């Protein structure tokens, strides 16, 4: 683990760019070209400072390495198919232990490259470790649960049956910059539970996390080819779609990218696609709701990772009797927000309660790229036209000359319009549209007016939502908490464009395996035995 020690030292000393060791394949680290040749290589930058962090790969090199990784994984799938679940669980245990051992490196990487605040980086890491622990605590129970539908189908027949889950094959998983660790934990546990090799592909804005994961895997005694790390962008992933040996694709990203993956995988009928794009997530404040709690949850949902998560809050529906209080409270809180760099060395000592905003850490860091800032500002222009009042107009913060910092946008709308480009789009930035309502059924109808229903937070008497739950399209309803509370650990993916009704979390193993039954006690043979 000497490389990881040097990796951490350079992050702490801010000696950039750090060395990129290459793609981690079954045969070890692989790269082509001269080490000093960074001209054509993809550069990753600190979104808060513009600082050049690492140069990884050329697109051509990445595609070639992905081809090699797929071949290596194809050999590994045969070995993994024969390995008992208990052995695969032991391998997951070593990955979890190593990730915990290198938590400081992970936190630094997330703050430097993903623009996450210390608190947000801690959330991603903690969510990843919790997910590993959940899976490792109950492997037998998980396997039985996955097979439950098949067992229900045969119970009444009186025959003796034996069920197993068989792996579908090689899995290609993409790691988004906002939650790369929690997403990795979900993908690798799902793949190993199913007995599938995983090729993890960090997004270009998660290159440091990719280096760390590859370094961790290189130091473990895993089944050869069971876990590989290939660096690349969406075009590299599309190249992988041409290979029929990719049996499953796990992707979190834009709606446009998800549609391309679906279209380009149409000819491979057996390929499993678990795709998730951003949700149009809402907070619904009932007249029995608590104003302060709902405002806190709205800001937590809208500002975490600068609004760049699938579960980010973008809409609020507040009862008209509470609207004035709610708007005054959120406006007051917005004026006190701390927006700033997430990577300052002075924050390195913070932990636990000290990670809370107001104890030295900003509430929100930068957007991931300049193009995201431009998109955000375009939507602010639209919002002002449709707003009764813009409580806060989102603007680029000029003091951070080389960073992608903005103030959030918070707008009280004149009326709800499901056809409005501003009100219907997943903006993927820190923006909140507030709508007043009188009747609860009207608010729920407006919340449902999206093809990207993912999560809804309800503030008020829980008995109210129980009565109305059958009318709500969002698969995940969070009571009196932010929409971002669980993120990668939500039990269900979104509807339609934001997930196509898939299960989430550990149930990912369902899509990466298929059940096989051995049935005994063939009584029909008795009809013919004596006749011939």
The domain total for the chain is: 2
List the CATH number of the domain containing 292: 3.40.309.10
User: Mean pLDDT over residues 144-169, rounded?
Assistant: 74
Six-digit token pair at 440?
């609860």
> Whose structure tokens read 């929690």?
182
pLDDT beyond 80 at 39: no
Lowest mean pLDDT among 131-140, 150-159, 345-354, 438-447: 345-354
Q: What is the CATH number of the domain that holds 21?
A: 3.40.605.10
Q: Which residues contact 169 (CB under 8 A, 6 or more apart)?
A: 74, 77, 196, 245, 246, 247, 248
CA separation (Å) from 166 to 42, 92, 287, 340, 505? 38, 18, 51, 48, 19
The per-residue pLDDT for range 391-445, each reduced to its tens digit, is: 999 999 989 989 999 999 999 999 999 999 999 999 999 999 999 999 999 999 9
Beta bridge partners of 164: 516
Same domain, 38 and 56: yes
- Local confidence band at 522 (pLDDT 50, 70, 90 cut-offs): low
Supply the mean pLDDT for the chain.
91
Cα→Cα distances 353→110, 350, 408, 459, Å: 19, 8, 25, 25
315 and 255 part of one domain: no
Q: Tell me whether residue 102 is in a domain.
A: yes
- Report the alpha-carbon angle 258-259-264, nearest 5: 100
Shared domain check, 43 and 85: yes
- Do both 229 and 305 map to the same domain? no
Residue 301 lies in a domain: yes
Same domain, 131 and 106: yes
Query: Quick one: pLDDT at residue 501?
Result: 78
> How many residues are recorded in the chain?
532
Where is pLDDT greater, at 358 or 434? 434
Distance of CA 29 to the CA centre of its chain: 26
What pLDDT does 153 receive?
63
Edge-first strand listing for the sheet containing 313-319? 387-392, 409-413, 431-437, 313-319, 281-285, 455-459, 476-479
**Does 314 share its domain with 424?**
yes
The answer to whether position 438 is within a domain reads: yes
Q: Of 106-115, 156-165, 251-260, which has the strongest mean pLDDT?
A: 106-115
Looking at the structure, tell me whether residues 253 and 332 fall in a common domain.
Answer: no
DSSP letters along 372-410, please? HHHHHHHHHHHHHHHEEEEEE---B-TTSTTS--B--EE
Q: Are strands 28-30 and 23-25 parallel, antiparallel or unpaired?
A: antiparallel
Is there a single domain that holds both residue 331 and residue 198? no
Host domain of residue 328: 281-337+368-498
Would you say the C-alpha torsion 392, 341, 103, 185 has a positive or negative sign? Answer: positive
Q: pLDDT > 90: what percent of the chain?
A: 78
The lowest-confidence range among 14-23, 236-245, 350-359 is: 350-359
User: Does 249 score more than 50 pLDDT?
Assistant: yes
491: β partners: none
For residue 356, tell me if it sits in a domain. Answer: no
Q: How many CB atoms lie within 10 A of CB 263?
A: 10
Model pLDDT for residues 201-235, shown as the tens digit of each residue: 999 999 999 999 999 999 999 999 999 999 999 99
**Does the pLDDT of residue 520 top 70, yes or no?**
yes
Asked whether the beta carbons of 310 and 279 are under 8 A apart, the reply is yes
User: CA–CA separation, 291 vs 332, rounded Å?
Assistant: 13
- Tens of pLDDT, residue by residue over 74-89, are 999 999 989 999 999 9
Residue 129 confidence (pLDDT) above 90: yes
Residue range 288-302, pLDDT digits in tens: 999 999 999 999 999
Q: Quick check: is 416 in a domain?
A: yes
Q: Is residue 530 part of a domain?
A: no
Let me know if residue 400 belongs to a domain.
Answer: yes
Residue 151 in this model has a pLDDT that exceeds 80: no
44 pLDDT above the threshold of 60: yes
Same domain for 294 and 255? no
Bond from prior residue into 17 cis (ω within 30 degrees of 0): yes
Does residue 350 lie within any of the structural domains?
no
The count of other CB atoms within 10 Å of the CB of residue 300 is 18
Q: Are residues 321 and 184 in the same domain?
A: no
pLDDT in tens, 301-315: 999 999 999 999 999
pLDDT, position 525: 67
Q: What is the mean pLDDT of residues 135-146?
A: 82
Average pLDDT over residues 124-146: 88
Domain check: are 379 and 239 in the same one?
A: no
Which residues are registered as beta bridge partners of 28? Answer: 25
Q: Quick one: tokens of 151?
A: 């067992």
CA 261 – CA 258 distance, rounded (Å): 5
**355: confidence class by pLDDT, cuts 50, 70, 90:** very low
217 and 241 fall within a common domain: yes
Q: What is the mean pLDDT of residues 519-530?
A: 69
């Amino acid at each position: 683990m000497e490389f990881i020690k040097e990796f951490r030292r350079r992050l702490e000393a801010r000696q950039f760019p750090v060395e990129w060791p290459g793609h981690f394949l079954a045969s070890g680290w692989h790269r082509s070209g001269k080490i000093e040749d960074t001209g054509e290589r993809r550069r990753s930058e600190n979104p808060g400072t513009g600082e050049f962090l690492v140069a990884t790969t050329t697109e051509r090199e990445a595609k070639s390495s992905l081809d090699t990784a797929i071949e290596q994984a194809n050999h590994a799938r045969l070995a993994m198919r024969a390995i008992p679940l208990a052995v695969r669980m032991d391998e997951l245990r070593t990955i979890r232990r190593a990730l915990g051992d290198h938590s400081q490196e992970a936190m630094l990487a997330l703050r430097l490259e993903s623009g996450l605040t210390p608190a947000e980086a801690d959330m991603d890491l903690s969510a990843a470790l919790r997910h590993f622990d959940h899976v490792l605590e109950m492997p037998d129970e998980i396997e039985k649960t996955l097979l439950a539908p098949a067992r229900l189908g045969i119970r009444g027949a009186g025959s003796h049956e034996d069920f197993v889950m068989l792996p579908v094959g090689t899995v290609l998983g993409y790691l988004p910059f906002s939650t790369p660790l929690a997403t990795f934990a979900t993908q690798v546990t799902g793949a190993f539970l199913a007995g599938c090799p995983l090729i993890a592909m960090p997004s270009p804005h998660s290159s440091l996390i990719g280096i760390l994961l590859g370094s961790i895997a290189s130091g473990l005694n895993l089944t050869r080819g069971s876990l590989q790390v290939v660096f690349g962008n969406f075009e590299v992933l599309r190249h992988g779609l041409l290979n029929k040996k990719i049996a499953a694709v796990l992707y979190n990203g834009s709606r446009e990218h998800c549609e391309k993956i679906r279209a380009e995988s149409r000819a491979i009928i057996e390929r499993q696609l678990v795709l998730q794009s951003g949700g149009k997530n809402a907070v619904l404040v009932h007249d029995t709701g608590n104003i302060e709690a709902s405002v806190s949850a709205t800001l937590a949902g809208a500002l975490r990772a600068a609004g760049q998560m699938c579960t980010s809050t973008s809409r609020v529906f507040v009862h008209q009797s509470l609207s004035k209080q709610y708007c005054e409270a959120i406006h007051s809180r917005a004026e006190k927000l701390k927006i700033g760099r997430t990577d300052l060395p002075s924050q390195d000592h913070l932990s636990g309660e000290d990670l809370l905003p107001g104890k030295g850490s900003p509430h929100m860091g930068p957007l991931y790229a300049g193009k995201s800032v431009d998109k955000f500002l375009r939507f602010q222009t639209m919002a002002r036209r449709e707003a009764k009042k813009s409580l806060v107009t989102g603007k680029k913060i000029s003091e951070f000359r080389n960073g992608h910092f903005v103030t959030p946008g918070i707008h009280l709308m004149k009326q709800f319009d499901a056809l409005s480009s501003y009100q219907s789009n997943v903006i993927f930035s820190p923006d909140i549209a507030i709508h007043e309502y009188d009747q609860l059924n009207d608010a729920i109808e407006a919340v449902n007016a999206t093809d990207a229903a993912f999560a809804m937070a309800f503030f008020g008497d829980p008995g109210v939502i129980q009565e109305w739950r059958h009318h709500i399209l969002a698969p995940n309803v969070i009571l009196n908490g932010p929409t971002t509370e669980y993120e990668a650990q939500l039990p269900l993916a979104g509807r339609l464009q934001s997930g196509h009704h898939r299960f989430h979390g550990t149930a990912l193993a369902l899509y990466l395996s298929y059940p096989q039954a051995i049935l005994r006690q063939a009584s029909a043979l008795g009809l013919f035995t004596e006749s011939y």
